[in-house]
Chains A and B, each alone.
Chain A
Amino acid sequence: MAMKFEKTGEGTYLLDVCGYVCPHPQIYTKKSLEKVSEGEVVQVVLDNPSSVETIAQMCDQAGNEMLERKTEGGKIYLRIKKG
């Protein structure tokens, strides 16, 4: 198990924190959003439901936009645009 943060295209990134539990997904999400530029999009993949509520509020407070939030096959997919 390893955290993965990679550039997937122009202005898009993938943060994969599957297998991780609190507080790792929210800390890595915060740090990855700090690393990208305004307007760029980070897709976060995680499987720890407890982290999602915190990430949603974190985005709201920081002015980042949650473009998509879906659950498939036990994994949660978030698309966040840095504001």
Chain B
Amino acid sequence: MADQVDNSKKNQVKAFLVTGLLIFISFLYYKVSPYYMYVVAYIWFGFAYGMMLQYGRFCFASASRDLFAAGVPRMAVGILLALIFFSLVAAILTATNMTTFHAGPIGMHEFIGGLIFGVGMVLSGGCASGSLYKIGEGNGTSMLAIAGISFGQAIFADVGGVFNNFLPQSWVDTANAQTFIPKDKITAWFDYFLAGDVFHKPMITLDKTGLVSGMQGIMKYLLSDAIINTIIPALLLICTIYTFYIRKGFMKKRAKSGASTGLGAEMSGVWSMITASKRTSLMGVLIGITAGLHIFVLKGMQMKFGVTNFGNILTRLGHTADLSIHGTVFDPGYWYITTQEAQFGAWVLEKVGWNMHDNIYFGVSNGIPEPWRNPALWMSLGIIFGAMAMALLNKEFKFKLPKGELIAWGLFGGLFMGLGARVALGCNIGAFFIRVAGGDPGGWLFGVGMVGGAFVGVKFFNWWSERKMAKELEAF
């Protein structure tokens, strides 16, 4: 008992040390330049996400995987609740011109990317954001997954050569005919994919379609982006999950206890499903609201500093080597994972002599800033530290080196997620969560692909674990 109290106190001290370290780093940034408060905002939103993700065990891989593998809907419901609340805040921000959100190119690449990503997240045991929070719990497999995401994306974005033989001629012709990207930046397979195909696809949010052309003011955005694009599909999905996974068992229990059936009973069933895991559902609501606040704060800082991208600030501070040829760096202005990890991978590869600037992804669009001047990378570190503080407070931090088969699952899962994220131009957050709630219907294409990929991954793991169980049962 005395040992437990002692350990609890030690964990609390460690959690305060982690938090104190980030406060100290924030103070240092402010002392170097008040402009770096922009980075500090990313750090602390990351920290908040990390705490909430860990507390709610909030992982997009878990949403479809646990549904298919164990029939447990808690995470799917949590994500849908987060989407509903985030979409409401996002619509208000769009209506008041306080948003940093922009839609992505819509097309089948989102579905295909989602499919590859979905397989990867089941293999590695966590999605892009889930892997970050699990690193904060001391999970070594998730570290390998993030390494796979980082280097997988960086290499995929820069590899040409023999892979360019597999390019559709139409992409090559279109890429060569365009004039807005320097030709020396179109070298990799991914460059032709972007300049020859994806960049020419439409970018849609429902508020800009004819659907609500006659409407004005905030209702226009609430109806189109929030209600039609997000809330109605999310509620339909909640009802579908209830019908296929919960209803039968719930009604059986009610019948046993002699309780009534009917619409009221069905509503009770849906509510019991939502509240079955209070911590996940509560964190879903909080994450949704925080993601909206994040956009609001970043937009406010952009207005305060008179910039539209953190690259403007780096230019003022003289760090031009960090920038893309357009003077920008990756600065989403909202919750995002994967591109900052790709930048880190590219930064490491450049240190060992690889030229990572001769492509569109890094050279033209995102730049490769030094890691300590990369705002989005700080957000990822914030997630890790936030999750670590929460895990320590809950006595759930344990450093676990990956062993045996987990090494392969972590690395290959990460590589699949990296590949999928590049094909779809985003991950479970950037290509799904943010886009859907922002009114971009293309986000659902990624979501459907991601769920399909997770289904394939679960089928594989079911087969794999059944084999291992059979071996164990031989001894009975």
Q: Which residues of A contact B (CB under 8 A)?
A: 1-7, 19-24, 26-28, 30-32, 35, 47-50, 53-55, 57-58, 60-63, 71, 74
Contacts and interface: CB of A to CB of B under 8 A. Distances in A.
B462 interface: yes
B406 A57 contact: no
A53 B74 contact: yes
Interface string B102-128: 000000000000000000001001100
Contact of B72 (A19, A58, A71): A58
30 contacts: A1-B403, A1-B404, A2-B404, A3-B468, A6-B475, A19-B406, A21-B141, A21-B400, A22-B134, A23-B61, A23-B62, A23-B66, A23-B122, A26-B70, A28-B469, A30-B69, A31-B466, A31-B469, A47-B400, A49-B396, A53-B57, A54-B62, A54-B74, A55-B70, A57-B74, A58-B66, A60-B276, A61-B245, A61-B249, A62-B249
B142 interface: yes
Main secondary structure of the interface of B (DSSP, over half): helix
Contacts, number: 110
B277 A57 contact: yes
A61 B62 contact: no
Interface residues of B, number: 47
Interface string B32-53: 0000000000000000000000
B396 A27 contact: no
A58 B70 contact: yes
Interface of B: 57, 59, 61-62, 65-66, 69-72, 74-75, 122, 125-126, 134, 137, 139, 141-142, 245-246, 249, 276-277, 279-280, 391, 394-396, 398, 400, 403-404, 406, 458, 461-462, 465-466, 468-469, 472-473, 475-476
Contacts of A57: 72, 74, 276-277
A54 B404 contact: no
A61 B72 contact: yes
A29 to B, nearest CB: 8
B125 A22 contact: yes
B476 A22 contact: no
Contact of A6 (B66, B126, B394, B472): B472
